Structure 1
Amino acid sequence: MMLPVIRSGGGRRPPPRLPTDGANEARMTQGHPAAHPGDGQPHPPVQAYPAAPPGFPAAPGYRPPGAYPVGPGQPGFGPYPPVPPPRPKSRRGLWIGIGAGVLVLTLCAGTAVGVGVGLSERGEDAAPKAAAAANGVTVTQQELDDLLARHSKALADKDLKAYLAPFDPARKDLVAGQTRLFTNLGKLPLAVGRYRTVAQQGRTTDSFGRGVSFQLDVSFVHQFEGYDLTPVAEWYRWTVVRETRGAPLKVTAVTGAPAALGNSKTVYYPGPWDKWGDIHVERTAHTLVITDAALAAEAKRYARVAEAAVADDFAAWQAGGVTADIPKGFVISLVKGKADLGSLYRVNKEETTEAGVSIGMVSTERQNGVDIGGSRIVVDVGDRSFFAPGDTKGPREIFRHEVGHSLVASLEDADKQDFFDGIENWIVEGFAEYLAHRGEPLRASDRTAQARSLVRSGDWDGTLPSNVDWDSPGRVSFHYWLGHAAMTHLAEKYGEQKLFQFVTARYRGATADQASQQVLGIPLAQFQSGWTAYVRAQAR
């Protein structure tokens, strides 16, 4: 399987709605790791994707697209004359790549440690081995597997006593936290919920009879019934202790497993069930909204908005005529504030500026070619770029945008994407923006006024923005608009079905030029030439 590199993907930065000074841009981010680990049947690494241990998610090694910016100051926003601020941007691709890479490196690191220990032990003389067998303290892999099997069974049986059995009863805070986790997990529609070993670090054997303490990375393999296409995984790091020969194993600490790569410090940790002592779960026909119990009122209010956004995006997808395995529903969490937005399903290393994010979850079992088994949408309902009092347009847009990222995430073939760059953001974000504003003219976008100003000023070279330049200061919102304009032009000139076919082809591994040739019948350069003229006409 592949290790997940956690990258932010599928989010959105808000376009300026009010006059801004370039210092307050919000964005929506789209992110999903790429890899396809196997639960017991690891897949060989392909291209830049390393393989992960059985039962663990592969590492997404490419940059996930999809995020929304929140105002000038972030890429895409800059000091502009008093105009409505653009909405946030999405960074889905970044999340994906990071997630995959993280998992990969983490697994590789753990494997290296295990191999080193094994080789060292094989090199020992027979006498010390005999002494260790007689007097030593040892923890075997079979013991760890059995421990996690019992832990998995306890969760499935809803047996709290058995679930808490591995945790040191003297660590009251740890036991209390695991009790809350058990209760939270019991509120969720888990079709799959099991624990597997990822890797371990530290001594598991002491020949002199002293106790051993080591770190065990554990994946929580889970699948939400009706939402995830395949099982996905969150990674924990357990500190495991055996004090004397024959003593029971004790877990004395639990945290998130550190990510080796990407902009998250952890691998899909913490989930809402870890982060909040009491979660509230709100379900609609196609959404599973999980929030802190303190946001139950917001969950009830915005679950209806999210459901309507899903219905809109599903209708667009059906009209697009593409046949593909897509999710039947989406898992959404609502937060208030950037601190919570940047610490759910990730621990952001960078400043969190987006207003929403779609994080792709790497499949632990690659089924029917699906690399991304599901996604987790997180939206900051405290962000005034989309959730100002009385604003009904903003919430609809951000949910449509993030759902749009999650809708096509499972189409992405990680093996055929560039490990470092991924799909072009003008396609990823442009498609999500198109869905956010579908049914409206391009001029209705809050980003249009700013974009027209830049085009009229002559400060634009007429080309599609590259991923390298995407976050250029003062340009993020403009780049979102250019992607939106590209998708709108494609739909108007060639038909909306061609738009969906083009995006699908790119996600499935065709280059942008190949997708243009296959779907539109022209090279990408010719499409870009027509699009440039279209953009300049929009700016008149």
Structure 2
Amino acid sequence: MNHGENMEPSPAPAAPGSDEPTVPAEPGPAAPVLPPVAPVLPPTVMIPRQRGPEMYVPQPSHPADPAPPYSAPPFSAPPYSAPPFSAPPGSTQAFPAPPGPGHPGQPGHPGQPAGMPGYWPVPQAPPRPRRRGLVATGVVAAVVLVLAFAVWIASAGPVGQNALVGSGHALPGRSGAAAGTAPGAKGENTVSDKILATLSKQSKALLAGDHDGYLTGVGGGLQDGFNRRFGSLRAMGVQTWKPTLVDKPAQNADGTWSVLVRYDYCFGTGCTQLFPQVVQTSWTVVGDQASVAKYEQSSEPWDASALQAVTGRRVIVAGSTANAGKLQRVLPKADAAADVADRYAHWDPPPKWYIVYVAGEGEWKSWWDNGDIGASYDGYSTGPRGIVMQAADATQQWLQILLTHEFGHVVTVGEDYGTADNWWLVEGIADYISDRDGTTMRGRLPDVRRFVKKGWNGSITLGPPPDTASDQEIDARYGIALIAVTCLSKKFGEPKMLDFFGAVVRKNTSLESASTSVLGTEWSGVASSCAAQVRNS
């Protein structure tokens, strides 16, 4: 994907519910090259597997996978994941996958810089003890760049033409006051018009469940990918599918036209929060007809795999055919986790639908380009876009902890992210939300006690576990983070604990300033008091 292509002036955005493409803008001077995007993505919050045979339904043993670069401890929080943009094995990738929107993870549920949605990993449950490491920095960087690009486009607004189909609220674009007809030599439709006409037909057909109509204008060799995409999107309950041309079509040497297409979409009845996906495409234009010649394969679960899905009161749980039988097992625990997480939506309304993707071994490595996380974690979060889990065979107790921890990240971090310095707060609050009956705390305390005896430095403001950390140290760090957040809640009350978290993690306020303004006392005394609770645990 060329992130430096010239951009057309933005037309007025289509009205919600309209299925007519926006009139193209008059040709004008090329827009400046897209600004470089700083790799400030949200933390990939992962949850490590829990240790202890009682946490898993017996499964055939298999060799341990390499440790992921960023990951989290074993007790409650789902693992990290990576960007959404790479093609699954066997798929037709027309263009190299762009550095997808992904979020690097750090051991445990590390916090990361603010800017974009992050993956929040959760340590695995008991059996299959494996070393938990960090997610490869290269993967993290790629993830950051792609998602950063998509988020930049989302925040700047679509440039070019759009065709809005379905419900929901489109992301605002730049002013389209200067939009015109941009006719061809004899007033015929432009190449942009023709491409948008095909995209609009496909969008209408997708939302209407018209499979043949969706394949309108799909070139040879691409049908398998479009068939899979149609089935997965319909299974997920797609409600909005809005295509926009991000840039001006450029003609290639072979006569085809290349253009970036952005789709704004949402899943579930009544959904309003739209998520952008940007893909590179190439088109053959003959007369008034535009046909897709190449289409970039992304690694978003619904694009990379043929999914089936089940819907609960507040959640959509999806998985490939191989895992379809596990979806109903996860559904009730996911609904229950949503009920708990909703209570901690202190800053923004909770999502209309929490989305859970149940991954098999292949999907775990390919979805959102998560090849480096490995099998040491049970889940990770990409924010409101959804969480990914591979622990569908875990006990019902662990499923509840895992899902509640990950949903906790969705409602507490939202679109803002802390830094690695705030890892203890990001992971601690997710563990706190999942620790409804004390199970998470009880599971972590043995390793906390060992860690303290071995020479803990007395600080509660721990960062992500280093990639050399043992399972016990990772678990201990999560445990200390949980004790610290629980200490804040008991000492000052849950509302003030949440306000303190918001000030530090969401507003980047220093611990000292947040403690004085929110808690009404100096941070040194608070930290000392909570550290004492760790020592006395």
> Normalising TM by the smaller chain, what interval?
0.5 to 0.7
- The equivalent of 2:237 in structure 1 is 189
> In the TM superposition, what whole-angstrom CA distance separates every residue of 1:445-495 from its partner, at most 9, and x where no partner exists?
x2221221111122x211235546655533432221221111111122222
- Contact preservation (8 Å) 1:63, 1:94: no
Query: Aligned to 1:342, which of 365, 370, 373?
Result: 365
Distance 2:227 2:117 in 1: 36
Deviation at 1:139, TM superposition (A): 7.0
- The equivalent of 1:12 in structure 2 is 47
- The equivalent of 1:204 in structure 2 is 251
Distance 1:100 1:394 in 2: 30
Alpha carbon RMSD of aligned pairs, Å? 4.1
Deviation at 1:273, TM superposition (A): 3.0
Note closer, same or farther for the CA distance 1:104–1:62 as it changes in structure 2 (3 Å cut).
closer
Deviation at 1:204, TM superposition (A): 1.0
Distance 1:515 1:30 in 2: 28
* Aligned-partner SS, 1:161: helix
- The equivalent of 2:106 in structure 1 is none
User: 2:406 matched to 1:402?
Assistant: yes
Could you tell me the TM-score, scaled by structure 1's length? 0.66
- The equivalent of 1:332 in structure 2 is 356
Note closer, same or farther for the CA distance 1:7–1:504 as it changes in structure 2 (3 Å cut).
closer
Identity %: 20
The answer to which structure has the higher strand fraction is 1
- The equivalent of 2:530 in structure 1 is 531
Query: Aligned to 1:276, which of 305, 313, 316?
Result: 305
Note closer, same or farther for the CA distance 1:218–1:422 as it changes in structure 2 (3 Å cut).
farther
Deviation at 1:16, TM superposition (A): 3.2
Deviation at 1:191, TM superposition (A): 2.9
Distance 2:245 2:421 in 1: 32
Note closer, same or farther for the CA distance 1:99–1:29 as it changes in structure 2 (3 Å cut).
farther
User: 2:122 matched to 1:68?
Assistant: yes
- The equivalent of 1:393 in structure 2 is 397
User: 2:388 matched to 1:355?
Assistant: no
Output the amino acid matched with 2:526. F
Distance 2:454 2:337 in 1: 36
Note closer, same or farther for the CA distance 1:407–1:106 as it changes in structure 2 (3 Å cut).
closer
> In the TM superposition, what whole-angstrom CA distance separates every residue of 1:325-370 from its partner, at most 9, and x where no partner exists?
2224301111222x312322x112524342101102xxxxxxxxxx
User: 2:475 matched to 1:451?
Assistant: no
Distance 1:392 1:158 in 2: 35
- The equivalent of 2:173 in structure 1 is none
Note closer, same or farther for the CA distance 1:507–1:235 as it changes in structure 2 (3 Å cut).
same
Distance 1:65 1:276 in 2: 19
The 5-angstrom pairing of residues 168-179 of structure 1 reads 168=219, 170-171=220-221, 174-179=222-227
Distance 2:151 2:411 in 1: 25
Unmatched 5+ residue regions in structure 2? 1-33, 55-63, 73-77, 84-100, 102-112, 160-183
- The equivalent of 2:292 in structure 1 is 251
- The equivalent of 1:290 in structure 2 is 318
Output the amino acid matched with 1:191. Q
Distance 1:22 1:525 in 2: 42
Note closer, same or farther for the CA distance 1:153–1:378 as it changes in structure 2 (3 Å cut).
same
Query: Aligned to 1:216, which of 259, 264, 268?
Result: 259
Unmatched 5+ residue regions in structure 1? 34-48, 50-58, 77-87, 113-131, 257-268, 361-373
* Aligned-partner SS, 1:331: strand
Distance 1:226 1:515 in 2: 39
The 5-angstrom pairing of residues 43-54 of structure 1 reads none
Distance 1:22 1:272 in 2: 21
Note closer, same or farther for the CA distance 1:214–1:425 as it changes in structure 2 (3 Å cut).
farther
* Aligned-partner SS, 1:186: helix
Query: Aligned to 1:101, which of 148, 151, 174?
Result: 148
* Aligned-partner SS, 1:326: coil
> In the TM superposition, what whole-angstrom CA distance separates every residue of 1:414-464 from its partner, at most 9, and x where no partner exists?
4xx67xx377211111111111212317751x2221221111122x21123
